[in-house]
Amino acid sequence: MTQPVAGAHEDVGAGYGARERTAIRGLSHVSSGHATSLERIETLVVEAHEDIARLVAKRIATLIEERRAAGGTAVLGLATGSTPIGVYRELIRMHREEGLSFANVVTFNLDEYYPMPADSIHSYHRFMWENLFSHVDIRPENVHIPRGDVPREQVDDECIRYEAAIERAGGIDFQILGIGKTGHIGFNEPGSGAESRTRLVHLDAVTRRDAAADFFGEEFVPREAVTMGVATILDAREIALLATGEHKARIIKRAVEGDINLEIAATFLQRHPKCTFYVDRAAGAELTRIATPWLLDEVEWTEELKVRAVVWLSQQTNRALLKLTQRDYAEHGMSSLVARSGSPGALNGEVFNALGAKIRGKSKLPRGKRTICFSPHPDDDVISMGGILRKFVENENEMLVAYMTSGNIAVFDHDVRRYVDFIQRLERDQGLGRRAVDTLAGQVLEFLARKQPGDVDIPEVADIKRVIRESEAVAGLEVMGLSRENARFLNLPFYQTGKVRKDPVGPADVAIVRALLEEVRPEIIFVAGDLSDPHGTHRMCKEAIDSALEEISIPRPEVWLYRGAWQEWNVTEATWLVPMSQEELRLKIQAIFKHQSQKDSAPFPGQDDREFWQRVDARNKDTAEILDRLGLAEYFAMEAYVIG
């Protein structure tokens, strides 16, 4: 059964408070009846990922209260991962501040790795107790999570018992889902059938690679998992699928707009009578109503939409902007846009000039400005904005690079051993304090010898890794023409868990950023604006900066958003396009090379096998190539920025 979207948003929003309704209306200009012709699942696109947490938590709280008032039990199907954590934190807040009780709640989790001891730092048992159950008044006997610690010969019987427990509870009232890049829900990998039930499955290679960061290496990720089946999920009375970030945009479009496909388990959700996708702007970016709304219905042609549409037409026809014809526009349903401008030539020229005006070489960039570059990790500055960083130095701007986190979890243990060996050799040759060196080396080497994948480093090891990354950051700055005095290492507290999963950004983080802003009083700040960082560290750093900007007592600086190693701003989104010569790109790559702990094989490479410098080289050249194909000036490479 396909789910029409037109009008559905008003029905869903009716049960929420003013803040939640505002979040839904945040994208009302694209969340309209345009969706009915292509979207087969009700999809709410909201402005920010935080809005999703509030919306879904409010729906769950309403359900719990309704069941309690009726003398019944609310049965929740829960998921793990980074996306639902926001929902759980909001539920905990509602429990503490608003008296929401979980005494009448029964829960069933989607899945668990196999084999997996319940007390392992990687287990979903531990995840759920740490992130939700330990903070609310749920009865332990009402918590159900698939077991990953039973003998293999007992797994099938355990799965049957799990299904029976769901049935005894009366079925699941509300099921939370995430979605993997393969389109899996739960661990229902490609090939999972619509009639599948709770069972042991083999994990897809893409899924295991996505989980590699949590296990500190793909080789440590289990190859199997116990998961609810597709049929088990579809039996839930209501389903909410949550997705955030650009890296989910393609699979969201496929699940919502594509045909049901055995290879993409999420497409089976099209058959559910009450399933809603909650996605942020980034995850919904490729939906037709957002990416190309003019293909669906009449639109209000804003300047931004006009540029997007004409660039899209140029790319579809493989013609330069100034060579687009009346026929090109007519064949792609865009005659009304031409009519507004009077002729194709006038429209082509208008968009051509609009894109050309975005190009900012060194002579058109700021001079003599107090500037802070906020770098979430110790290499994001040179990876993401090495080109403009050098130009700002040459234009005699006052530059400070603020490294927000230590990045120490992204240092291999073998690098620590190498540096400890270096210190010991230096001690022997130079006669340094031998007792202190031997004590430190003994502590470090003893810990590393017994360390298991994912174990939190002892302070001595964490400090060595921090120092490694700080020294690399300074070396990279020196390539850019800066020095140690231009670096500030903030070491924000939220990052200092020693684990891949971080604490929420708190007042202490915001206070550190605010103090720096008020000390330096910058006129311009650079901020990582991407949402595809695998750990969410970039997003959390931006959250701290945004909060600090709201609190500062000084004039607000101009904010320039850059993208991280994973994506670049589209040329139609960018405010400024900054060209680089061959020599400037080479200098940028040399600065990236200084981050030796991240070279050759970074601990958390994401889905891209290339080294960071290779991604940068391709990304910056590709951006310049796009402008070349559109018929604008030909540059060797280019960075893109958005003024926030």
Task: Tell me if residue 189 is catalytic.
Answer: yes
Of 20, 112, 189, 286, which one is the catalytic site residue? 189
241 bridge partner residues: 177, 277
Strands (E), 96-249: 105-109, 111-114, 143-144, 174-177, 199-202, 224-227, 238-243
56 and 89 in contact (C-beta within 8 Å)? no
Query: Which tokens is 392 given?
Result: 């700002």
Whole-angstrom distance, CA of residue 225 vs CA of residue 112: 6
Which residue is it, tokens 């868990």?
A: 497
Residue 417: φ, ψ to 5°: -60, -40
Strands (E), 390-432: 398-403
End-to-end alpha carbon distance in the chain: 41
Query: Which tokens is 27 given?
Result: 């994208």
15 and 62 in contact (C-beta within 8 Å)? yes
Query: Which tokens is 485 given?
Result: 């005095």
Three-state SS for 561? strand
Torsion over CA: 578, 584, 589, 591 (sign): negative
Total count of residues recorded for the chain: 644
Full DSSP string of 501-554: SPPPP-HHHHHHHHHHHHHH--SEEEEE--S--TTSHHHHHHHHHHHHHHH-SS
Closest CA to 185 of 321, 80, 282: 80
Whole-angstrom distance, CA of residue 274 vs CA of residue 270: 9
Identify the burial level of 422 via C-beta atoms within 10 angstroms of its C-beta, where 0-12 means exposed, 13-18 middle and 19 or more buried: exposed
Q: Give residue 496's identity as a one-letter amino acid code.
A: Q
What SS3 string covers 397-440? Answer: CEEEEEECCCCHHHCCHHHHHHHHHHHHHHHHHHCCCHHHHHHH
Strands 370-375 and 524-528: parallel
Q: Give residue 642's identity as a one-letter amino acid code.
A: V
Strands 558-562 and 576-580: unpaired
Closest CA to 303 of 345, 343, 353: 353
Q: Which residues are catalytic?
A: 189
